[in-house]
Amino acid sequence: MSSLSLQGLRRTYSATVAVDRVDLDMAQGELVALLGPSGCGKTTTLRMVAGFVLPSAGRVLIGGQDVSRAPPYARDTGMVFQGYALFPHMTVADNVGFGLEMRRVGRAERATRIAEALRLVRLDGLAERRPAQLSGGQQQRVALARALVVNPSVFLLDEPLSNLDARLRAEVRVEIRALQQRLGLTTLFVTHDQEEALTMADRLVVMDRGRVRQTGSPEELYERPDNLFVASFLGRCNIFRGTVERPGRLRAGTAALPCDGGAPGERSALVVRPERVAIVPGEAGEGGLPGRVGLVTYLGGLTDWHIDTPAGPVLVTRPTPAEGDALRRLSPGAPVRLDWTEAAGRLLADDEHTADKHRQGDPR
């Protein structure tokens, strides 16, 4: 039995379809990230789980029980809101204790559990403060403690890190993940930040315009995307359009590019991650894709080469070569040859709408 199960979930607002046909089964203790661009329906989905939005169709099951029509207070979910939504007129301790009070937990046990929860988020000593007297990061941890302390069946987080500065964000990310694993909480996490999703989640659900485009582990989604949207939303990629010549070769203009299979004559898009492209200086050599060096961007540990080829611009990312390496000395205009293995070239259906927008783009 799944801990949380969404079945054909749909929500419309007059003419707008905010969420459509969302299916998901979550195991106990799993952390799933809902990932997608702003407006794709992540928050609406989360709010349907919490009970603030009623589905137009489909079902929400928590621990096997259909709660689709149940009011929020009867659902046993613990939610961390985007703006934290702390009670400004209560102390930190009373904020954290509110859920326990609603569950009629006695005063003595309440005090113990509040103290325990505050220790868990490293806020012991601040119990008597008001939310307004805390920093953003501390408020965030109060919100976490308040939702955790009731030991909810499902833990829900809506972009919990978006109000924190970059340094704190990385820190809290690790902290939330550690807490979630320690307590074995079934967690649904909403974010538009792919890095956040990739580093924290057991599984990702990538959404686009209300629909799920692909569900899977971070590795599955990054290595074997089902469609161009997922490929270009997660990480950077090169996209080539053309016709399959024979299994393993895609004809794009004058170039024949390595790809993983394909049926001859098929119009397809080929996706290659920039770190899978090998770059060989010089004009000599057979096969692969000839080109000239454009912009070279030094990123410290990595270097980006923008190569102009007959099949269009190609981005190559590699560990920065050692001083004296032939690659290191490549300057704009130098001839090079690009190549990759057949397995590294993923053939996908050419769905027009996302492709060019994200081509080589960094969605962040």
Ligand X SMILES: Nc1ncnc2c1ncn2[C@@H]1O[C@H](COP(=O)(O)OP(=O)(O)O)[C@@H](O)[C@H]1O
User: Closest approach of Cβ 328 to other proteins, in Å?
Assistant: 53
Q: Which long-range contacts (CB under 8 A, 24 or more apart) does 116-120 make?
A: 116/149, 117/145, 117/146, 117/148, 117/149, 118/92, 118/93, 118/145, 120/145, 120/148, 120/179
Instruction: State yes or no: residue 13 binds ligand X (CB under 6 A).
Output: yes
Which residue, 51, 131, 147, is CA-closest to 99? Answer: 147
C-beta of 321: minimal distance to Mg ion in Å?
A: 42
Nearest residue by C-beta to Mg ion? 43
Q: Locate 71 and state its tokens.
A: 């009011």
Chain positions 38 to 77 lying near ligand X, rule: CB under 6 A, are 38-44
Query: Which of 73-81, 110-118, 134-142, 274-282 is the region at the interface with other proteins (rule: CB under 8 A)?
Result: 73-81
Which residue lies nearer to other proteins by CB, 81 or 216? 81
79 is a contact residue toward other proteins (CB under 8 A): yes
CA atoms within 13 A on the CB side of 13: 7
Residue type, 28: Q
- Please give the Cα distance from 135 to 144 (Å, whole number): 14
Is 71 one of the binding residues for other proteins (CB under 8 A)?
A: yes
Question: Between 60 and 120, whose beta carbon lies closer to ligand X?
Answer: 60
Q: Which of 70, 85, 280, 296 binds other proteins (CB under 8 A)?
A: 85
The option from Mg ion, other proteins, ligand X, none interacting with 87 (CB < 5 to 8 A, set by class) reads other proteins
Minimum Å distance from CB 84 to Mg ion? Answer: 15
Binding flag, residue 82, other proteins (CB under 8 A): yes
Binding status of residue 78 toward other proteins by CB under 8 A? yes
Residue 102 binding other proteins, by CB under 8 A: yes
Cα(216)–Cα(227) distance, integer angstroms: 13
Contacted by 141, from other proteins, ligand X, Mg ion, none: CB < 5 to 8 Å by type: none
From 37-45, 114-122, 140-148, 346-354, span contacting ligand X (CB under 6 A)? 37-45
Q: How far is the CB of 35 from ligand X (least distance, A)?
A: 9
Query: Rounded to an integer, what distance in angstroms lies between the CA atom of residue 111 and that of residue 105?
Result: 10
> CA-CA distance, 69 to 67, in Å (whole number)?
5
The span from the CA of 216 to the CA of 142, in Å, is: 31
In the bound state with other proteins, the residue whose beta carbon lies nearer, of 152 and 345, is: 152
Query: What is the distance between the alpha carbons of residues 5 and 28, in angstroms, rounded to a whole number?
Result: 11
Interaction of residue 363 with ligand X, rule CB under 6 A: no
Nearer to ligand X, 13 or 298 (CB): 13
Angle at 233 between CA 210 and CA 207, to 5 degrees: 15
DSSP-derived pairing of the beta strands 31-35 and 203-208: parallel
Q: Which spans of this chain sit near Mg ion (rule: CB under 5 A)?
A: 43
Alpha-carbon Rg of the chain, whole angstroms? 25
Contact between 191 and ligand X (CB under 6 A)? no
- Residue 71 touches which of other proteins, ligand X, Mg ion, none (Cβ within 5-8 Å per kind): other proteins
Least separation in angstroms between residue 103's CB and other proteins is 6
How many residues form the binding site for ligand X (CB under 6 A)? 11
Q: Which of 146, 213, 236, 337 binds other proteins (CB under 8 A)?
A: 146
Residue in 4, 6, 9, 18 binding ligand X, rule: CB under 6 A: 18
CA atoms within 13 A on the CB side of 67: 26
Contacts of residue 233, defined as CB under 8 A and 6 or more positions apart, other chains included, come to 35, 36, 37, 194, 206, 208, 354, 358, 363
Q: Is 250 exposed, middle or buried (0-12, 13-18, 19+ CB in 10 A)?
A: buried
Residue 98 interacts with other proteins (CB under 8 A)? yes
Both structure tokens of 346: 């993923």
Provide the 10 A C-beta neighbour count for residue 270. 25
Task: Return residues touching other proteins (CB under 8 A).
Answer: 50-52, 71-73, 75, 77-79, 81-83, 85-89, 98-99, 102-103, 146-147, 150
Task: Return residues touching ligand X (CB under 6 A).
Answer: 13, 16, 18, 36, 38-44
